[in-house]
Chain A
Amino acid sequence: MEFGYPWWLRVEHLVNIIFMTFLIRSGIEILGTHPKLYWNEHSRPGSEWARFTRKVMPRDRLYDTLDEEESYSSIVSMPGHKNLGLGRHWHFFTVIGWILAGLVYVALLFLTGQWRRYVPYSWEIFPMAYQDVVQYLSFELPPTLPGQPFNAVQKLSYGAVIFLLAPFQILTGAAQSPALEARFPWFVRMLGGRQWARSLHFLGLLAFVGFIGVHVFMVIVHGFGQETAKMIFGRQTLPALSTGITLAAAAGLVVLHVITTRYTLAHPRSTQRGLGAVVMGVRRVLLNPLTSRQSYPKEAISPEHRVNGKPPNADFYKIMAAHNFAGYRLEVGGLVERPMSFSLEDLRTFPTRQTQRVLHNCVQGWTSIGEWTGVPLRQIVELVRPLPEARYMVFLTMQDSGRDEPSAEGAGQFYEVVPLEFAHHPQTLLAYEMNGEPLPIKHGAPLRLRLETQVGFKMAKWIERIEFVSDHSIIGEGMGGWREDNVFYDRDVGI
């Protein structure tokens, strides 16, 4: 068959460049929020195999993972300057576009027979590819395969990137979704674990960056004008014009990045709303229905569970803690038939006492495994009987982020909004114990939420009140939680 460079292949090439560059920069933004990589699920400090920070954490004071965040330049990260929430929006928005474009591309490859340009027919291609590499190292250009557009090493490289590396990145990215992990624990185990998936995802990023670098270099080596002409005009023609168009397109890509980055930093709320509308819609359909089915063995529990968020820095809380939370009351009200108030003793003597050993996924990327014991939230819901118009639960805490958390940007009472349907998930828990002991202060004593299909920030700690509401748009900034309001995180965070 005549391979050539059909128009759809050239369009896909251009679209792919745009998506890939946004994915790489936003991925680096996400990495910067916990700039350490591990081969173990505990993310134990000091056990990282790679670190991209020089920060040294104190030993004599509680520090949390917010303190470990790095602020990277916008030149390498999207949007840069320690904006995890906005980086996540861009990463998930562009990955949706990238996957859709990729599916169309692969479908067209197979419908048109163009897949043959990438998929080897015979094992002989491997020694031929080796010969090609030797020839390149001898400063000679290897010939293309008979009747094909590429030489052997090109064919193998492009085929590997399209059919191996791209799916590998999708799989290792998806394996970092707490909703997928919770519903299909075997999937993340197959990759070696959650931190293996994160580390492999990073190595996949390096492979992509390496491929792009070598690819561009080879385009130059083979003849920049002629090679770029193939991707512009579909054939080797008008090399000077194609060089000009390519350089103009590259400049346009840089301008696109500069404009979107500046807009994102200047208008974070509209970025959050705009990109979030797309991302949230996909998540609601794909991830929200998933329920947690985790049960890690006792020996898997992390020796030291990592911490995020600092406890309420107020005397009323410290006095209550010194009294072993004897005066604590959980208030439950709002749109319910029976507003109620519970002491810790009430909660401890509930008919059901549920224990679960699960993987905790922080939005920053670290994980730890813990055993949590408490009351299934659905039992509280059954007691208070939400009114038909109730759609969300608002978890109000004793933490005031401006007062308690110097590393957080923003102030005010910490709260998180959770869809009412999550209360009925089997592992949604109001936890008062951790690893068989009363819940430690740094992990949310006396009561915290466990929502195993979501990332950690939704699992409010130091809870004092649960309010059932029909709408959350008039609470705070109306985005669905303190982090959504103040640092532009996304809501319903199943990934």
Chain B
Amino acid sequence: MGGVIYGDNRILSGEEKRRVLLRVRERGFACPACGSEGFEVGEALPLGFLWFGEEPDAYMVALTCRNPNCPSPRTGIRLEGSGFLLGEDE
């Protein structure tokens, strides 16, 4: 989308993206379209404020499947913010 970033999304630092990949591996999350386990991490969408039924600290983190032949490479994983976000002083 030509680099447009929506204000609803949170841009993640390199360390935060690394933590996301750790959580992905811990959960054994695989691409729903092709089964690949390699991902590029994008932005994180806070869910708790916008959607009822979501935990206050829940995020949908954008993952892009690294498999060049994946038919649907854009996916996401629901994570707790405390599991990958750095605090103000970190």
Residues on A close to B: CB < 8 A? 60-62, 310-311, 313, 315, 318-327, 343-345, 348, 406, 437-438, 440-442, 445
Which one of A319, A406, A441 contacts B8 once the chains associate, using CB atoms below 8 Å? Answer: A441
Q: Are A324 and B74 interface neighbours, CB within 8 A? A: no
A441: B residues at CB distance < 8 A: 6, 8, 50
> Given the known A-B contacts A318-B47, A319-B62, are A438 and B7 also in contact in the complex, defined by CB atoms under 8 Å?
yes
**Is B76 in contact with A322, judged by CB distance below 8 angstroms?**
yes
CB of A352, distance to nearest CB on chain B (Å): 18
- Complex alpha-carbon distance, A117 and B5, angstroms: 69
Q: Which residue of chain B has its CB nearest to the CB of A446?
A: B6
Closest partner residue, chain B, to A321 (CB atom): B45
29 contacts between A and B (CB under 8 A): A61-B48, A62-B50, A310-B50, A310-B51, A311-B50, A315-B60, A318-B47, A318-B60, A319-B60, A319-B76, A320-B74, A322-B42, A322-B45, A322-B60, A322-B76, A323-B43, A323-B64, A324-B5, A324-B6, A324-B42, A324-B62, A327-B74, A343-B1, A345-B1, A348-B4, A406-B52, A440-B7, A440-B8, A442-B50
Q: What is the CA–CA distance of A323 and B2 in the complex, to the nearest angstrom?
A: 12
- B67 at interface (Cβ–Cβ under 8 A)? no
Q: Which residues of B contact A321 (CB under 8 A)?
A: 6, 8-9, 45, 60
User: Would you call A311 and B51 a contact (CB within 8 A)?
Assistant: yes
Proximity string of chain B (63-90) to chain A, C-beta cutoff 8 Å, 1 when within and 0 when not: 0100000000011101000000000000
Across-interface contacts of A406 in B (CB, < 8 A): 52
- Check A322–B43 contact: CB distance below 8 A: yes
B62 close to A323 (CB less than 8 A): yes
A264 to B44, CA, bound (A): 48
A440 touches B62 (CB 8 A): no
Output the least CB separation between B51 and chain A (Å): 5
**B interface bracket (residues with beta carbon within 8 Å of A):** 20 to 34
B5 CB → nearest A CB, Å: 6
B61 CB-CB contact with A under 8 Å: yes
* B76→A318 contact, CB < 8 A: yes
Instruction: For the complex, give the distance between the alpha carbons of A325 and B74 in Å.
Output: 10
Q: Which residues of B contact A (CB under 8 A)?
A: 1-2, 4-9, 42-45, 47-53, 56, 60-62, 64, 74-76, 78
In whole Å, how far is B45's beta carbon from the nearest beta carbon of chain A?
Answer: 4
Most A C-beta atoms less than 10 A away, residue of B52, B53, B56: B52
Shortest CB distance B41–A (Å): 10
Q: In the complex the two chains form, is B9's CB within 8 Å of A319's CB? A: no
Tell me whether B1 and A326 are in contact (CB under 8 A): yes
User: Which residue from chain A places its CB closest to the CB of B72 in the assembled complex?
Assistant: A327
Given contact pairs A60-B56, A345-B1, A441-B50, A325 touches B6 in the complex (Cβ within 8 A): yes
Which residue in B9, B75, B78 is a CB contact (below 8 Å) of A324? B9
Contact of B1 among A62, A344, A440 (CB under 8 A): A344
Identify which of B2, B75, B78 gathers the most chain A CB atoms within 10 Å of its CB. Answer: B2
Q: Which chain A positions have C-beta within 8 A of B6?
A: 321, 324-325, 438, 440-441, 445
B61 to A322, Cβ gap below 8 A?
Answer: yes
CB distance from A62 to the nearest CB of B (A): 5
Known interface pairs A326-B1, A441-B8; A318-B52 also in contact (CB < 8 Å): no
Contact A322 B7 (CB under 8 A): no
A322 with B62, Cβ < 8 A, contacts A315-B76, A348-B2 known: yes
Q: Could you say which residues of chain A place their CB within 8 Å of the CB of B64?
A: 323
User: Given the complex of chains A and B, what is the CA–CA distance between A406 and B75 in angstroms?
Assistant: 27
Question: Taking A60-B56, A440-B7 as contacts, is the C-beta distance between A325 and B50 under 8 angstroms?
Answer: no
How far, in angstroms, from A323 to B65 measured CA to CA in the complex? 12
A134 to B7, CA, bound (A): 65
For A318, the chain B residues whose CB sits under 8 A away are 45, 47, 51, 60, 76
**A321-B60, A322-B42, A445-B6 known; A61 and B52 CB under 8 Å?**
yes
In the complex the two chains form, is B49's CB within 8 Å of A324's CB? no
- Give Cα A61–Cα B48 distance, bound, in whole angstroms: 7
Looking at the assembled complex, report how far the CB atom of A418 sits from the nearest CB atom of chain B, in whole angstroms.
26
Q: Which of A313, A325, A343, A445 contacts B53 (CB 8 A)?
A: A313
Chain B neighbourhood of A311, CB < 8 A? 50-51
A438 neighbours in B (Cβ, 8 Å) = 4-7
Give the CA-CA distance A372 to B56 in the complex, in Å: 30
Find the residue from B5, B49, B53 having the highest chain A CB count within 10 A.
B49
Residues on the B chain within 8 Å of A315, using CB: 60, 76, 78
State A320–B52 Cα separation when bound (angstroms).
Answer: 18
Q: Which B residues are in CB contact (< 8 Å) with A345?
A: 1-2
Contact B8 A445 (CB under 8 A): yes
Which chain B residue shows the least CB distance to A325?
B1
A-chain residues with CB within 8 Å of residue B47 when the two chains form the complex:
318
Known: A321-B9, A322-B42, A440-B8. 16 other contacts (CB 8 A): A62-B51, A315-B60, A315-B76, A318-B47, A318-B60, A319-B74, A322-B9, A322-B43, A322-B45, A323-B1, A323-B62, A323-B64, A323-B76, A324-B4, A440-B7, A441-B50
Residue of A326, A344, A440, A445 ringed by the most chain B CB atoms within 10 A: A326
Query: Within the complex, what minimum Cβ distance (angstroms) separates A248 from chain B?
Result: 53
Q: A60-B56, A322-B62 are in contact. Are A313 and B51 (CB under 8 A)?
A: yes
Bound state CA distance, A348 and B1, in angstroms? 10
Closest to B58 in A: A318
User: Which A residues are in CB contact (< 8 Å) with B62?
Assistant: 319, 322-324
Q: Tell me whether A323 and B42 are in contact in the complex, defined as CB-CB below 8 angstroms, given that A437-B7, A440-B7, A441-B6 are known contacts.
A: yes
